[in-house]
Structure 1
């Protein structure tokens, strides 16, 4: 091919919709371009521009081209290609956004300028954001982020990628975030340039790449540096073999399957000595084995793809990263095969016009990988972001709910940095909550509620793995007790849910103020206390227990209650006491029992009542005592019965009364004894009966009086004495015997009548 002064046709040209114009013509034309472009990186080309000599600008005009209008606009450099003989001229296009432009110097009445062009993706380096992506795959996220830019991108992926529960762009630029995700999953990108634009293409397999489209570049010949050839060719090509690790191991932990073995291994040792070295990465950033397998294979492919590379140089204007080329005529037979261009440094200097006499120069240094291998881009320069310490967030959930959690007690959060947060059940992934104690169905748990501020940290500093480590108060959620007035108080105060007010809560509060120490326990509704074995309560002073409704105490074994001083029990309504077995009540001193209305005592079997000294029973009105069978009253000494009114005593069958010594019966007014059949009174020694005025005995049938020795009746001065020997003596003042019938006096002996005077009629 023609070189240097032999070439008369300009190779470089430039176009841009924002190109400054002077005199109706473009004010600038290219004289050189130099830059680097490689897979999964931002290309950067420096274009040297000059004012055209034929335009006839004076130095002032040439030095004052309005170059600022180029900044941020698309500029395309067109490189003329020789191509295949007979195929006609073609062009390679290098299109990008002008990110910098500057005036260099005046030279021979012309002005030199320099413009830097970069891909539109460079705009993504000039942003930063915090945002959350949920349940989306890497391709979903990349498409969403890149879709926010008004430029073209295309995903040509062969693999499928899992949806990830939670991915965070944490203060990163869009570029760093996308680059990180692509690298993690083994995707990479390149740019396809066209006449007025360029397109970003994301790929993951070698099949996505094609040979350069221009004729004459299907195969690249190799010629040594000493060869004199006219065609574009490669004059240096060095294949390189390097020692690489051959095994990658990764692992992680899934709290939903704590005992699951998640370790994944990928082994791809190259056919070299010492290729079995192992690399271990943790955490692997997965909880699903299939995801771990894909990630560890990607890491192994990344390491393996660095083992066989090649670099070359030549005057090749059409060596473009992302395209395939085939090398031929290389003395090393194994080098003559197809390669993927992974990077290239291009330098082209165009011929000058007549006054400049600048020769044409072109040089390309490139790097390739055999197309039979797998390419994986190296890790981007920007490392995965790490959090620098705890932060706070607000608990969120569905509208109208106060608590929103799952089986693990996790919550959803609104991070302060998330300006896109919906502040509902979709604000974040489920976030685990630290507990003071967590065991197998035991431990402590307090679920943060919607609207509360919590302290959040991140496992291994990874923004994708938040965990709640604590809670804090703020102006919307103040402490349960006024501070600092109650600074000596500590404890817990809950809030009833849902729809409760400040008055609805369970509470445990400690007051540590000296002299006013207190433990306050409050149950808003029910309180259930379970003691598996013993319970001991000690109250140093008084105890007051108030139950607004019912109380049930169930003691399944024994109960002992000791009151060292007084006990007062007040029952305002009824009281029922049931003892299934025996009851013993011991009162060592006095006992007073008062029943304002009625008292009923029922003893289904026997009852024994023992009073060591005295017993006094006072009944204000009536008393009824019913004994179903027998009643025995045993009085060791005396018994006094006083009845203020009447006494009626009914014995259905018989009554036996035995008095060991004496019985005194005093009746204030009347005394009546009614015996339905017979009445028998037996007095062992003597019986005395005194009647204050009169006594009447009415015997309907017969009346028998039997005296063993003597029977005596005395009425004033009159006496009747009857003795056991048959002597009957009447004494009195006057003796009248009157009969309505006859009178008979019979005597076995004499009848003697003796008086001062005896009259007979």
Structure 2
């Protein structure tokens, strides 16, 4: 039997098939009883509408109840076997299905609403653009997984606050470049470990001050060279011991002074040798000076060596030795020994 629908065209229009148990209106085309068709449907107490009148009289609704495909197949098999009792049982099972899809328009002033319900899946297919404008809030809740696939460009512009909370792991995979611009402060709080792996070069530029605070130990491993260029001053404060070790040379160079101060002792130790070299003067100033050599002690000078205690001097030159003490001067050279200002006594 044909069914009259509100709008019908080739592969388009509005299509509805009454279900078993629905109350329908039978009309006859051209008043010919051999040409019956279903011209409409009616609600009744056994088959009420989704909208409850008069409480929901402000609503306009389009809904479709779930069909039990298993029962439909059973009905088809029953018809083929001419088992009308089984067919009636299957049709009854169809009627009592509780699921439905719904589109409802609510039209109370200042509370207008469009409500869409999908009993299971909800699919949209758009062959070109999709635009959406929301003048107030939007809430979205997904109880399962959420997947989004974008072939080209994804842009988000948030004029206010953005708050993202992830209860488990958070993974970001960028195939090419990633740029982040922060207008003011940037704070990263990590509850446990923080790791940064860079396959090649890494650069950091800080326009102002930089502070690093480490609560426990800090270890730095550099496979090759390290170069630092400090335009101003550098200060290091070590609460414990400072150890500097090198498998090769240690070179310290300055265009001005080098000051080494110690409240207690300063020890220079070398297993092979220790040298002090200067182009001009070399001074050792102390209350007491001790020099000890387990083998030889050699003092060499190009012009002279002077040993002085008070007014007493021993001057060693390339051609003579001069001893001055208590106004007496003794000169020893290639000519012999000369005593000036004193007497020579033997005891």
Report if TM-score (shorter chain) is over 0.5.
yes
* Structure 1 segment 99-110 matched on structure 2, within 5 A: none
Partner of 1:536: 131
Partner of 1:711: 282
Rg larger in 1 or in 2? 1
2-structure distance, mates of 1:739, 1:468: 127
Q: Which structure features the higher share of strand residues?
A: 1
2-structure distance, mates of 1:588, 1:738: 67
2-structure distance, mates of 1:511, 1:470: 24
Partner of 2:164: 569
Partner of 2:111: 516
Q: Is the 8 A contact 2:67 2:97 kept in 1?
A: no
Give secondary structure in 2 for the equivalent of 1:506: strand
1:641–1:476 CA distance, 2 compared to 1 (3 A):
closer
1:458–1:523 CA distance, 2 compared to 1 (3 A):
same
1:494–1:463 CA distance, 2 compared to 1 (3 A):
same
1:655–1:458 CA distance, 2 compared to 1 (3 A):
same
2-structure distance, mates of 1:457, 1:506: 29
1-structure distance, mates of 2:139, 2:280: 79
* Residue of structure 2 aligned with 1:578, choices 173, 179, 182: 173
* Structure 1 segment 194-343 matched on structure 2, within 5 A: none
Partner of 2:338: none
Please report how far the alpha carbon of residue 455 of structure 1 lies from its aligned counterpart in structure 2 after TM superposition. 2.1
2-structure distance, mates of 1:488, 1:544: 25
Q: Which runs of 5+ in 2 are unaligned?
A: 69-92, 301-315, 328-347
1:670–1:494 CA distance, 2 compared to 1 (3 A):
farther
* Residue of structure 2 aligned with 1:467, choices 37, 46, 51: 37
Structure 1 residue 527 and structure 2 residue 122: aligned? yes
Give secondary structure in 1 for the equivalent of 2:30: helix
1-structure distance, mates of 2:32, 2:45: 30
Give secondary structure in 2 for the equivalent of 1:454: strand
* Residue of structure 2 aligned with 1:675, choices 241, 246, 252: 246
Q: Is the 8 A contact 2:51 2:61 kept in 1?
A: no
* Structure 1 segment 81-230 matched on structure 2, within 5 A: none
Please report how far the alpha carbon of residue 634 of structure 1 lies from its aligned counterpart in structure 2 after TM superposition. 5.2
Please report how far the alpha carbon of residue 476 of structure 1 lies from its aligned counterpart in structure 2 after TM superposition. 0.8
Partner of 2:7: 437
Structure 1 residue 662 and structure 2 residue 257: aligned? no
Structure 1 residue 506 and structure 2 residue 76: aligned? no
1:709–1:471 CA distance, 2 compared to 1 (3 A):
farther
Give secondary structure in 1 for the equivalent of 2:61: strand
1:646–1:739 CA distance, 2 compared to 1 (3 A):
same
**Number of matched pairs:** 285
Normalised to the residue count of structure 1, the TM-score between the two structures is: 0.34
1:483–1:699 CA distance, 2 compared to 1 (3 A):
farther
Give secondary structure in 2 for the equivalent of 1:525: coil
Bigger RCO (CA 8 Å, 6+ sep): 1
Please report how far the alpha carbon of residue 459 of structure 1 lies from its aligned counterpart in structure 2 after TM superposition. 0.9
Please report how far the alpha carbon of residue 667 of structure 1 lies from its aligned counterpart in structure 2 after TM superposition. 1.6
2-structure distance, mates of 1:642, 1:597: 16
2-structure distance, mates of 1:517, 1:660: 69
1:708–1:519 CA distance, 2 compared to 1 (3 A):
farther
1-structure distance, mates of 2:98, 2:243: 75
2-structure distance, mates of 1:592, 1:601: 16
Give secondary structure in 2 for the equivalent of 1:457: strand
* Residue of structure 2 aligned with 1:451, choices 15, 21, 43: 21
